[in-house]
Amino acid sequence: MSGILRLSCDQNPLCATLIIKMIKSAKRRLHLLSGRVHPELAEEVAANLGIQLCNVTLTNFANGEIFCRINESVRGADIFIMQTHAGDLNHAIMEQAIMIDAAKRASAASITAVCPFLGYTRQDRKSGGREPISGRLVVDLLSSAGADRIVSVDLHSGQTQGFFNGPFDHLIAMPSLVKHIAPQLSGKDVVVVSPDAGRVKSAERYSSALGSSVAIIHKHRPTNKANVAEARYLIGDVEGKTCLVIDDMVDTAGTLCTAADMLAQHGAKEVYGLTTHGLFSDPAIERIEQSAFKKIISTNTVPEKKSSKIEYVSIAPLLAAAVNNIFEDASISALFDGKNQM
């Protein structure tokens, strides 16, 4: 057999190239590593892929410095390092960068930073003098550490992809969220509501998927106060209708809850919320419990927080499909029929 293979390759250089590629492909290995912020999500992704998480030791020295050791060989492997930027946000980002550096120095063939929620993406431009563009800084940190590719879900701003000089796979949670909420809205007169002008395009996409109309809330956010939003005007008819307020992330829930209360004041029959990143920083849970919301549905890109009004949808199947397609050199946009651009 080896003689035939040698003769065939000598006569046809293209055949030789294809055979070499096949041999290399057969040797490829996929390793999924998880940081400490949201290991439950990483374990679910691994289960969807039919693999085990790579064995990694992560501890802290007494002064807070992070120690990392990958406890199995990753030489020549395709490495996916998953860490959502939540909890102690800065610690989470640094831990992922350190894991990436460890994989690079262990001779990994490729390194993909999987960031279900990518931190600092709200700071994607200068809105005033002497301000940083922190989103660019975080992407540069991951790149400098050794990431060849970044994967994230529902970026706050699409331009963040341009901060990375390499492949950036932007996943969208809308299909998963719509699939979950659609049965609950069946037979109801639904209006998709954008909580501010910046989410109108997203609201139109959700309305198209659900076959509903759109309303818009004009919001004022004081420039000198963080996490403060004032809903001022409603554009659209919501009286007697079921409203679905959509947003990419919910932090302190000020925007979402003021929107819900305004909709109730204008005669909305029911108010639901839909978000990808349920950060729910204090006092979000308290605000949600006291608001006009019947229910808020969020994915689990960040660790879940308990509330009688919050329901979660797992993003793990989507992340697993993306990891598999990247490993197999298949299309990511095919997962969304090419509709994953903002």
The 10s digit of each residue's pLDDT in 63-84 is 999 999 999 999 999 999 999 9
Confidence of residue 337 (pLDDT cuts 50, 70, 90): confident
- Third-level CATH fold of 2-172+317-336: Rossmann fold (3.40.50)
Residue 5 has pLDDT above 80, yes or no: no
The yes-or-no answer on residue 219 being catalytic is yes
Using DSSP's 3-state secondary structure scheme, residue 143 falls into helix
pTM more than 0.85:
yes
| Residue 24 in this model has a pLDDT that exceeds 60 | no
Task: From the candidates 126, 188, 219, 306, give the one annotated as an active-site residue.
Answer: 219
Half-sphere exposure of 21 toward its Cβ, with a 13 Å CA cutoff?
A: 8
**Quick one: what percent of the chain has pLDDT higher than 90?**
82
**pLDDT digits 0-9 by tens, 186-223:** 999 999 999 988 889 999 999 999 999 999 998 766 66
Return the amino acid letter for 299: T
- The radius of gyration of the chain's CA atoms, rounded to the nearest angstrom, is 23
pLDDT of residue 255: 85
For residue 224, pLDDT over 90 is answered with no
CATH T-level topology, domain 174-313: Rossmann fold (3.40.50)
Residue type, 63: N
| Domain spans in the chain, listed from the N-terminal domain onward | 2-172+317-336, 174-313
Six-digit token string for 280: 């729910």
